[in-house]
Structure 1
Amino acid sequence: MTVDGGNAPPGPADHPGTLDAWFARQAAGRGDAVAVTGPDGRLTYRELDRRANRLAHRLRSLGVGPEVPVAVRAARTTGLVTALLAVLKAGGAYLPMDPASPRERQEFMCADAGARVLVTDSATDPLAPVAHTVVTGPADDLDDLPADSPPPAGTRPANLAYVIYTSGSTGVPKGVMVEHRQVTALLTGVRDRFGFGPDDVWSMFAPAAFDVSVWEMWGALLHGGRLVLVPDDVRRSPQDFHALLARERVTVLNQTPAAFRQLVRHEEETAERGDAPARLDLRLVVFAGEALPPQTLRPWIDRHGDARPVLVNMYGITETTVHSTYRRMTEADLAPGVGSVIGEAIGGWTMRVLDARGRAAAAGTPGEIHVGGAGVARGYLGRPALTAERFVPDPDSPVPGARRYRSGDSARRTGDGDHEYLGRLDHQVKIRGHRIEPGEIENALTRHPDVRDAVVVTDRDAAGEPRLVAYWVAAPGGAPPGPTELRDHLGRGLPQYMVPAVFVALDSLPLTLNGKVDRRALPAPEEQRPDLDAEFAEPNTPTQKALADVWADLLSVDRVGLDDDFFELGGHSMLATRAAAVAGERLGVRVTLRMLFDRPTVRELAEALDATSAPRHDNSDRGDA
């Protein structure tokens, strides 16, 4: 692998046109090679091409063409990849939606984007703004449609490829419009650094609605490699994910630092039990989505070294097409005092650190990151004022009319040309790789009739991972809602990763002298059991007590009752992974992540664990396989 490449912009000959045209060339040359593997089976390049062509014909008949957004909502199967490719073959732009996100949010995105067509694998959940729903799957009627490519739609590299929604500070999500040429520029811009090719096997870990999926999916398919879809339950289980990486012989892995720490912890716990972790074929691990503290890589480097797989940290933003910088991480970066280093701009991109007056910040002085070059997106869909505010003229570019993006991120340039990421300049945060505007959560909270004011901040849970904490003030005259009611209220309009782990009721929010919320004066959440709907019931059996102790330690609460829900206490998928591992070690039984998701109370989980460990005298099967 080439790991040191120049930053010269790719020339016109390097740009392969549209994404679907680039894929068609791979399909023509590698028809019998496996393109995608999922829980529902595998497709060769020829099979994927033909299935996508049939769906593209149907979409074309519904009026899909250049600049027409098409909503795609599907589980992580080969059908998802087929649908995304088909939208582009029809000439349209895909709008990916998480099937688990609230219906209200899905309908907002469709209405905001003007998506009149929905491609889905579920016929039972239509969306109001959509005029046409195309259901795909085993029972669809697409086999009667032509398997060859539809007539050219006239799509050009400057046409839209996709719209991905990100959190908005005003409480309204905003759609980022990305064109074909920005994605192809990304892949050509890193060509010399990574040497991607047909021997690579990529895991698609990110949800389709998260922009890293663009890099994973098209990085694999446009280089003739194989894409391995990671099912949702496997994504939540480091043990199962590690097994998938080994079984599928994945070579290219993309992870948020938080998710990778779970994978590293699994290897450590396996070794502590005296077992050898399964051998991996990784040649490259790319970190993205949040800050990477280099010291967290020590356990991995101690075990695997830093030569293979190569470890690369890439800073990026949805508005500048996934990745913007490249920084290879080595053992030297584990030294004390090294911050979250993000390197320099990739080929065709530019990065400037500017002060408040728009001038270059001196080396070592913090400033705002401005990203320019080939990856700058078209802007925010239907938000011209916000687009003008964030996408500003680029005086350093030789291209007339070029713009660069004001990221809102702070960094400082080091003496050797490297850059250290320092965090957000505003209150925007990243939780487990998801970019979140706390203002969107605050606005949703205050829409509850019994909530007057709210502010949302981040702190760290017992495992050291960032979490959301909501401080709120009750409206006068109403009945103050409990955490469960507030969590349910938010869950009806926000994705799960935006629901705070902790809710703190205050008489009033502290203010600064100029009347703004004084976030530094907010009290630390008390380490006590919140006021849940379930009455506290004391754990009694050894299994119940052990589970309650494990949960109390991980969730930073003083006690856990028999009927307390792990997730209502502030748990999330990564803490659940840790809870399952620690509980299993303490009890000497296998505790799976699925068991905890299916039985989230101490009572339910203890019953299941006791049943699986008890002697059997009949043929009943009450445990998890």
Structure 2
Amino acid sequence: YGPAEATVVTTVHHVGADDGDTAPPPIGTPVDGAVVCVTDEAGRVVPRGEAGELRIGGDVLSLGYLDADLTAARFVAPPDGVTGTDRVYRTGDRVRMRPDGVLDFLGRLDDQVKVSGVRVELAEVEAAFEHHPGVRRSAVAVRTVTGGATRLVAFVLPVPGAPVPAADELIREARGWLPEQAVPAVVRFLDSFPLDANGKVDRAALLAAEEAASDGAAAPGGNGTPQSPTEELVLRLCRDLLGSQALGTGDNFAAAGGNSLSTARLLTGIEEHCGVRLRAPEVLRQPDLRALAALVDTRRAAADLAGV
């Protein structure tokens, strides 16, 4: 293992029988002339066994970049207690140091996101989907919806020639591996993933393509279009909350990604616009948005009669 900023090879691990044949092997221990440490977000060394950012120092370091500002941001003073180097390079890689000093690679720090206040590793979410025998590969991206809330969208490449698994089946199985906040609200099936200049999955392009497809799916006259003012209002509220213009009145709110937070906001919107107060279980029990709109109309009619 090693970045170009540190002579390319910085740590080494000799793979043996004890490493098994399925789990990724560790990235090992530093080569001669390399100093490594694992730090938290504040740049302090974390105890062995805890995850953090890998920083590299010692004779293996390059001088920096042509860009002085970028050099200053990535090549910094060593943390307290780290000796043998006058500066360290912030790799942006997330690792864990075992008690024996061997390093495990856990992914990129920029692949770690927050969903409903909980830290989520995108690689772990992708691995949960790839446990399914019908999934060849998956990629997960984060979409920001109304109010600044975030939701996960999973993009899946099915195994060629195999039956395509149902989206709800994949979500149900993912719940067996992941905390609720890490379970994607939406699954999209693709034939291929867009790649960036480095050959990595371009998550921004995935989200842009999904948004464009969603806009097209919501064209007037399509399946699930509103047939009454109440259906139109409920649909608009749900589209805004879930960040998907592909929703139709035949969709289920919970299956489309509705959670406790978005349900509470939906209840507030319905009360503000329709003068009807519903409870969360009533919303989640409705099979689709059309039924939810019908419930709103029924409650509003009952309130009008009571007022008379």
Quote the residue 1:469 is aligned against: 153
Assess if the C-alpha contact under 8 Å between 2:274 and 2:300 holds in 1. Answer: no
Assess if the C-alpha contact under 8 Å between 2:144 and 2:243 holds in 1. Answer: no
Amino acid at match of 1:612: R
**Deviations for 1:227-253, whole angstroms, at most 9, x for unmatched residues?**
xxxxxxxxxxxxxxxxxxxxxxxxxxx
Assess if the C-alpha contact under 8 Å between 1:544 and 1:606 holds in 2. Answer: yes
Structure 2-normalised TM-score? 0.58
**Aligned CA distance change for structure 1 residues 478 and 613 (closer, same or farther; 3 Å):** same
Aligned pairs (5 A) from 1:399-418: none
Quote the residue 2:295 is aligned against: 608
Shift of 1:386: 8.1
**Deviations for 1:237-292, whole angstroms, at most 9, x for unmatched residues?**
xxxxxxxxxxxxxxxxxxxxxxxxxxxxxxxxxxxxxxxxxxxxxxxxxxxxxxxx
Aligned pairs (5 A) from 1:372-391: 385=98, 388=101
**Deviations for 1:267-326, whole angstroms, at most 9, x for unmatched residues?**
xxxxxxxxxxxxxxxxxxxxxxxxxxxxxxxxxxxxxxxxxxxxxxxxxxxx98xxx98x
Partner SS for 1:565: coil
Partner SS for 2:256: coil
Quote the residue 2:272 is aligned against: 585
1:502 partnered with 2:202: no
How many residue pairs were aligned?
A: 232
Partner SS for 1:456: strand
Cα distance in 1, alignment partners of residues 272 and 100 from structure 2: 52
Quote the residue 2:244 is aligned against: 557
Assess if the C-alpha contact under 8 Å between 1:549 and 1:560 holds in 2. Answer: no
Shift of 1:370: 9.3
Partner SS for 1:613: helix
Where does the alignment leave 5 or more consecutive residues of structure 1 unmatched? 1-169, 172-318, 326-343, 346-352, 374-382, 392-405, 409-423, 619-625
Shift of 1:617: 12
Residue number among 168, 181, 191 corresponding to 1:484 in the alignment:
168
Quote the residue 1:444 is aligned against: 128
Shift of 1:545: 2.5
Assess if the C-alpha contact under 8 Å between 1:450 and 1:481 holds in 2. Answer: yes
Shift of 1:473: 1.0
Quote the residue 1:430 is aligned against: 114
Structure 1-normalised TM-score? 0.31
1:366 partnered with 2:50: no
Shift of 1:550: 1.2
1:460 partnered with 2:144: yes
Assess if the C-alpha contact under 8 Å between 1:565 and 1:601 holds in 2. Answer: yes
Assess if the C-alpha contact under 8 Å between 2:141 and 2:207 holds in 1. Answer: no
Cα distance in 2, alignment partners of residues 495 and 445 from structure 1: 13
Assess if the C-alpha contact under 8 Å between 1:483 and 1:568 holds in 2. Answer: no
Shift of 1:388: 3.9
Shift of 1:390: 6.5
Cα distance in 2, alignment partners of residues 450 and 473 from structure 1: 9
Quote the residue 1:65 is aligned against: none
Residue number among 354, 357, 361 corresponding to 2:57 in the alignment:
357
Cα distance in 2, alignment partners of residues 582 and 457 from structure 1: 27
Q: Percent identity?
A: 33
Residue number among 535, 544, 548 corresponding to 2:235 in the alignment:
548
Shift of 1:593: 3.5
**Aligned CA distance change for structure 1 residues 522 and 588 (closer, same or farther; 3 Å):** same
**Aligned CA distance change for structure 1 residues 407 and 484 (closer, same or farther; 3 Å):** closer
Cα distance in 2, alignment partners of residues 483 and 504 from structure 1: 8
Cα distance in 2, alignment partners of residues 467 and 448 from structure 1: 22
Cα distance in 2, alignment partners of residues 438 and 386 from structure 1: 26
Shift of 1:518: 4.2
1:569 partnered with 2:253: no
Cα distance in 2, alignment partners of residues 611 and 496 from structure 1: 33
Where does the alignment leave 5 or more consecutive residues of structure 2 unmatched? 1-22, 25-38, 45-52, 82-95
Partner SS for 1:439: helix
Shift of 1:454: 0.9
Shift of 1:372: 8.2
Shift of 1:555: 2.3
Cα distance in 2, alignment partners of residues 354 and 490 from structure 1: 29
Cα distance in 1, alignment partners of residues 302 and 57 from structure 2: 73
**Aligned CA distance change for structure 1 residues 600 and 384 (closer, same or farther; 3 Å):** farther
Shift of 1:513: 6.2
Amino acid at match of 1:459: R
Assess if the C-alpha contact under 8 Å between 1:441 and 1:499 holds in 2. Answer: yes
Shift of 1:477: 0.7
**Deviations for 1:101-133, whole angstroms, at most 9, x for unmatched residues?**
xxxxxxxxxxxxxxxxxxxxxxxxxxxxxxxxx
Cα distance in 2, alignment partners of residues 443 and 407 from structure 1: 12
Amino acid at match of 2:57: R
Partner SS for 1:575: helix
**Deviations for 1:30-67, whole angstroms, at most 9, x for unmatched residues?**
xxxxxxxxxxxxxxxxxxxxxxxxxxxxxxxxxxxxxx
Pairwise CA RMSD: 4.5
Cα distance in 2, alignment partners of residues 370 and 504 from structure 1: 44
Cα distance in 1, alignment partners of residues 56 and 97 from structure 2: 23
Amino acid at match of 1:510: P
Cα distance in 1, alignment partners of residues 265 and 163 from structure 2: 36
Quote the residue 1:180 is aligned against: none
**Aligned CA distance change for structure 1 residues 501 and 430 (closer, same or farther; 3 Å):** same
Shift of 1:521: 4.6
Quote the residue 1:599 is aligned against: 286
Cα distance in 2, alignment partners of residues 559 and 459 from structure 1: 14
Partner SS for 2:155: strand
Cα distance in 1, alignment partners of residues 246 and 193 from structure 2: 27
Cα distance in 2, alignment partners of residues 444 and 432 from structure 1: 19
Assess if the C-alpha contact under 8 Å between 2:231 and 2:290 holds in 1. Answer: yes
Cα distance in 1, alignment partners of residues 99 and 137 from structure 2: 26
Quote the residue 1:526 is aligned against: 211
Shift of 1:453: 0.9
**Deviations for 1:438-497, whole angstroms, at most 9, x for unmatched residues?**
111111111222211111122312333232222221111123234333222322332221
Assess if the C-alpha contact under 8 Å between 2:140 and 2:203 holds in 1. Answer: no
Partner SS for 1:452: strand
Cα distance in 2, alignment partners of residues 386 and 544 from structure 1: 59
Quote the residue 1:290 is aligned against: none
Assess if the C-alpha contact under 8 Å between 1:457 and 1:469 holds in 2. Answer: yes
